[in-house]
C-alpha cells in the first residue's frame, strides 16, 4: 500500500510530540500497528517541520538580565 507524504508527515509529527502512544496514533490515522511501524521506521518525513523548529528556536526570549543590560547599553540612553 502506498502512503501519501501527508500521512507519513502526520505520523512522524504525532510520534515526535510524544503525547500519544503508537496504538493511539495508528487508530487516529486509521492504520494497523504494522503500517504505522513501517511508516515511522522505514519512511522519512518530508522535513517540512525543520524550518518551523528553526524559526521557533531563533525567537528566544531575552532573559531578565539580558533585557536589563540591553536597556542600559541602548543607543537612546547614551
What is the DSSP annotation of the chain?
Answer: ----HHHHHHHHHHHHHTSS-HHHHHHHTT--HHHHHHHHHHS----HHHHHHHHHHHSPPPPHHHHHHHHHH-GGG-
Q: What is the mean pLDDT of residues 15-32?
A: 91
Containing domain of residue 70, as a range? Answer: 5-77
Grid cell locating 20: 500519544
Count of domains observed in the chain: 1
pLDDT the model gives residue 25: 93
Report field, pTM of the whole predicted structure over 0.75: no
pLDDT the model gives residue 40: 87
The 10s digit of each residue's pLDDT in 32-74 is: 999 999 988 887 766 665 566 666 666 777 778 877 777 777 6
Amino acid at each position: 500500500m502506498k502512503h501519501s507524504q501527508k500521512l507519513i508527515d502526520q505520523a512522524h509529527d504525532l510520534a515526535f510530540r510524544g503525547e500519544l502512544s503508537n496504538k493511539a496514533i495508528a487508530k487516529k490515522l486509521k492504520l494497523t500497528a504494522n503500517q504505522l511501524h513501517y511508516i515511522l521506521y522505514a519512511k522519512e518525513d518530508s522535513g517540512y517541520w525543520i524550518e518551523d523548529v528553526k524559526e521557533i528556536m531563533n525567537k528566544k526570549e531575552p532573559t531578565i538580565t539580558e533585557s536589563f543590560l540591553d536597556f542600559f547599553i541602548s543607543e537612546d540612553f547614551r
